[in-house]
Amino acid sequence: MLSEVLLVSAPGKVILHGEHAVVHGKVALAVALNLRTFLRLQPHSSGKVDLSLPNIGIKRSWDVARLQLLDTSFLEQGDVTAPTPEQVEKLKEVAGLPDDCAVTKRLAVLTFLYLYLSIFRKQRWTKEDLELINKWAFQGERVIHGNPSGVDNAVSTWGGALRYQQGKIASLKRPPALQILLTNTRVPRSTKALVAGVRNRLLKFPEIVAPLLTSIDAISLECERVLGEMGEAPALEQYHVLEELIDMNQHHLNALGVGHASLDQLCQVTRAHGLHSKLTGAGGGGCGITLLKPGLEQPEVEATKQALTSCGFDCWETSVGAPGVSVHSATSLESRVRQALDGL
Ligand code: PMV
């Protein structure tokens, strides 16, 4: 039982290279961002559990007693299990969301309920606890998009910069502190549908699509090699290699059918400012990343952000290689984070 306020944060993440290919056993490179999501768990005695997700407009409340009436045989501590369709149906009943609730909101609430009912919380996390968190986060991903590769939950749990292939994780020893723009085109998309689309294209044109996946694999490996070199001795030439890799991968992802007009626009706008971008994650809209080279003047960065914002996109300047999921004491939080949490 939670006896005091618990503050937890997890980093945002981006896949540098290897999205989609990773679903087919290829290498992906993923990094945690210095943009974090904070969670405050606060005990109270109303007999209810309240969920507030202000960024997507969710505020819900459930009777704890009602939740306890559920068949919780799947909730044994330490036993990480995939949600079955029956459990998801049961959670839908408990969630009590209106029929016209957007899919993203619905999935967020179902994932919360599944994980809330399943996880025992602690104040300090050992390596074993983090492994457990990673496994549960993977199950959360399964609620959201069915057949995830596991790269997203891994990088959010462990942080830093990871090479991921078929469940095997290797942290990059000394990743360079790359600065990037993360741009959300605000075009909604379904990861599940996009992953299925790539699979269909692979089945339909194996001779054409399999080499694309192999090439993306090689891009990830080359990027890993260059990042390793940059950790030792960064040079502008290496940034140019990273830019070429970004361009090639973006074209491959378009050929896989996961591009979108908004992502083309993002690439064109940043190209006009001499910067290179690619989609990150599932594509079909969603987010893109833009590499910021050292020596770039801040007014140029601001002008690029402004140009992206005037396309209707959201844009953040951030750096990669942030710590993974963390527990915080209230006093260690930045005051703007404390204020935002207090305003909920
Ligand atoms: O956009 P996201 O965060 O759902 O990333 C999806 C990444 C894919 O490679 C397309 C799928 C996966 O599970 O790895």
pLDDT in tens, 261-293: 999 999 999 999 999 999 999 999 999 999 999
Q: What number does the ligand 1 atom closest to the CA of 148 have?
A: 13
Q: Over 90: is that where the pLDDT of 233 sits?
A: no
- Per the listing, tokens 């070199």 go with 229
**How far apart are the C-alpha atoms of 288 and 248, rounded to whole Å?**
15
Tell me which of 42 and 78 has the higher pLDDT.
42
| Residue 170 CA, ligand 1 centroid: distance in Å | 18
Which tokens belong to 317? 């300047």
Nearest atom in ligand 1 to the alpha carbon of residue 286 is 1
Give the mutation target among 151, 183, 249, 256 for probing the ligand 1 site: most ligand atoms within 8 A of CB. 151
CA distance 191 to 211: 22
If DSSP codes are grouped into helix, strand and coil, which group holds residue 166? Answer: coil
Q: Which tens digits make up the pLDDT trace of 1-32?
A: 455 777 889 999 999 999 999 999 999 999 99
Nearest C-alpha neighbor of 80 from the set 134, 135, 24, 37:
135
Nearest protein Cα to ligand 1, atom 2: 281
Q: Which amino acid is at 199?
A: R
What is the pTM (predicted TM-score) of this model?
0.80
Contacts of 69 (CB under 8 A, 6+ apart): none
Give me 256's structure tokens.
């896989």
Cβ neighbours of 82 (radius 10 Å):
10
**Mean pLDDT along residues 86-112:** 84
Query: What is the β-pairing status of strands 48-53 and 277-280?
Result: unpaired
Which pLDDT belongs to residue 68?
A: 65
* Domains present along the chain, CATH in parentheses: 6-174+329-343 (3.30.230.10), 178-320 (3.30.70.890)
> Is 157's pLDDT higher than 80?
yes
- Residues in contact with ligand 1 by the CB-under-6-Å rule are 15, 19-20, 22-23, 148-149, 151-152, 191, 195, 281-282, 286
SS3 327: strand
Task: Tell me if 19 sits within 8 A of 253, measured CB to CB.
Answer: yes
Report pLDDT for 230: 93
pLDDT in tens, 53-87: 888 888 888 887 777 666 565 544 456 677 778 77
Per-residue confidence (pLDDT) for residue 117, from 0 to 100: 75
Q: Sorting pLDDT into bands at 50, 70 and 90, what band is 339?
A: confident
Catalytic positions are: 152
What is the arithmetic mean of pLDDT over 284-308?
A: 96
Residue with tokens 């000394």: 174
Q: Are 195 and 147 contacting, i.e. CB atoms less than 8 angstroms apart?
A: yes
Nearest ligand 1 atom, CA 287: 1
Q: What is the pLDDT of residue 1?
A: 43
Q: Which of 143, 171, 178, 176 is nearest to 157 (CA)?
A: 171
